[in-house]
Amino acid sequence: MDYRIEHDSMGEVKVPADRLWAAQTQRSHENFEIGVGIETMPCEIIHAFGVLKKAAAIANNKLRPEKMTDEKLGAISAACDEVMSGKLNDHFPLVVWQTGSGTQSNMNANEVVANRGNEILGKKLLHPNDDSNMSQSSNDTFPTAMHIAAVLILEDKLIPAAEMLIETFKRLEKENEGIVKSGRTHLQDATPIKFSQEISGWRSSLEKDVELIRRSIEPLYEVALGGTAVGTGLNAPKGFSESVAAEIAAITGKAFKTAENKFHALTSKDELVFAHGAIKALACDMMKIANDIRWLASGPRDGLGEIFIPENEPGSSIMPGKVNPTQCEAVTMVAVQVMGNDVAVSMAASQGNFELNVFMPVCIYNFLQSARLLAEAIVSFNKNCAVGITANKEKMYHNLHNSLMLVTALNPYIGYENAAKTAKKAFKDNISLKEACVELGFLTAEKFDEVFHPEEMV
């Protein structure tokens, strides 16, 4: 491999000749060989750095044009556009397990933007610290990148995925409106419910989750940029905070604004904890929904078997013909991961020491993994399972009319205790509720038929 020599304030460093990073990135690359190639800084953070570096250059050009000239701005903007597009992802090799402030990733962005900008210009004009990092600090850029990445993945990926599944459930509600089935509580038989009502519970849960996520995004619109090292705004021109936030909003099309208190913005990650809690709520509901569906589809002969789901792949290497609810299993495993990530996000957020949180990379790594995995799992679940759900009407009818809890309809006529005696006798003697009720002398056969209508119990 060919190398070139780069230098920083600590001296010279050999850097691969075909890479846009420079000395500080190389030092981190060599010093933190932890999860290399597997747990690198999420691409969402890299792209967010492209957004904020471009926004900072535009703001600097307006506020200090003698330092951020039009020529520099043009080169930085062009380089940042490539960062945002993902074109330069290979030039961001650093792992999550680095400094807790994300300083090396900020310098990685500074070096790539400066070197790529110089390539575009055809001359060495841009300096990583003096130009790419003008009016900034790692301490305010990394938390800003965290918020940008969080907002984008929630609004552009997770919410649309959930809304897609919501629409599927709306369709299934309409298609199954007239079907009555046995309800279940405590995994035991309960009073009847319409299948469409059961589906509406799934749909409404997801709608509530989307509402919670939307509410949690509001605090994430506030960005720390402009606070620089400790929140005082040292080395940033007056008005920079407001200007750069407006530029971030313009670039992303999102309602970003400057954080009211930069001392809070640098050290507290409460907004991310709150938002991840909403992600976890969605994961919990997806766990419940996926479990409901695989229970209802269990069988095909020895389970509940009340619904059919798509058969996507063979389910066993030894049992011919076996098909498993694999999409449900994928969703539930992702839900478990999200719940575990919530602990990591919470613990990381608790580590704000004085003027800076120093667990930021692990915090955003887990946050973004949760949102990404959950979004992709929901899309897969919708495409490969939910859209193909159909009711097994015959099995639903059989289970409904075989349920002892239909005896609840008799409460107004024979009382709770007599109804309980009826259910217990029917179960013990393996006879129908009607036969038990008549044998016990609580109702005549004619009166029983008059008051007993399971389909009207919904």
283 domain-assigned = yes
Q: How many folded domains does the chain comprise?
A: 3
186 is catalytic: yes
398 domain-assigned = no
Phi-psi region of 319 (alpha: psi -120 to 50; beta: other; left: phi over 0): beta
Task: Quote the CA–CA distance of 137 and 230 in Å, as a whole number.
Answer: 9
**Residues 186, 264, 350, 453: which is the catalytic one?**
186
Q: Identify the CATH number of the domain in which residue 427 sits.
A: 1.10.40.30
Q: Identify the CATH number of the domain in which residue 36 sits.
A: 1.10.275.10
376-415: b or e for each residue (b if 16 or more CB lie within 10 Å)?
Answer: ebbbbbbebbbeebebbeebbbebbeebbbbbbbbeebbe
> Domain span at residue 316?
152-177+194-224+261-390
The residue out of 390, 424, 444 marking a domain boundary is 390
Say whether both 310 and 332 belong to one domain. Answer: yes
Say whether both 12 and 105 belong to one domain. Answer: yes
CB 420 within 8 A of CB 410: no
Given a cut of 70, the residues of the chain with pLDDT beneath it are: none
pLDDT value, residue 225: 98
Say whether both 200 and 334 belong to one domain. Answer: yes
pLDDT value, residue 98: 96
Task: Quote the CA–CA distance of 342 and 279 in Å, as a whole number.
Answer: 9
247 domain-assigned = no
446 domain-assigned = yes
255 domain-assigned = no
Helix (H, G, I), strand (E, B) or coil at 391: strand
Task: Quote the CA–CA distance of 398 and 95 in Å, as a whole number.
Answer: 57
CA 95 vs CA 33, 133, 191, 276, 387: distances in Å = 8, 21, 54, 22, 39
**Residues 85, 204, 316, 350: which is the catalytic one?**
316
Say whether both 267 and 129 belong to one domain. Answer: no
Say whether both 168 and 199 belong to one domain. Answer: yes
331 domain-assigned = yes
Task: Quote the CA–CA distance of 410 and 313 in Å, as a whole number.
Answer: 46
CB 422 within 8 A of CB 380: no
| Exposure of 375 in the CB half-sphere (CA atoms within 13 A) | 18
CA 340 vs CA 276, 279, 354: distances in Å = 11, 12, 27
Say whether both 381 and 358 belong to one domain. Answer: yes
Percent of the chain with pLDDT over 90: 95
45-74: b or e for each residue (b if 16 or more CB lie within 10 Å)?
Answer: bbbbbbbbbbbbbbbbbbbeeeebeeebbe
Say whether both 346 and 377 belong to one domain. Answer: yes
317 is catalytic: no
pLDDT value, residue 412: 96
Say whether both 212 and 83 belong to one domain. Answer: no
Say whether both 370 and 419 belong to one domain. Answer: no
pLDDT value, residue 453: 92
pLDDT value, residue 36: 86
Say whether both 312 and 277 belong to one domain. Answer: yes
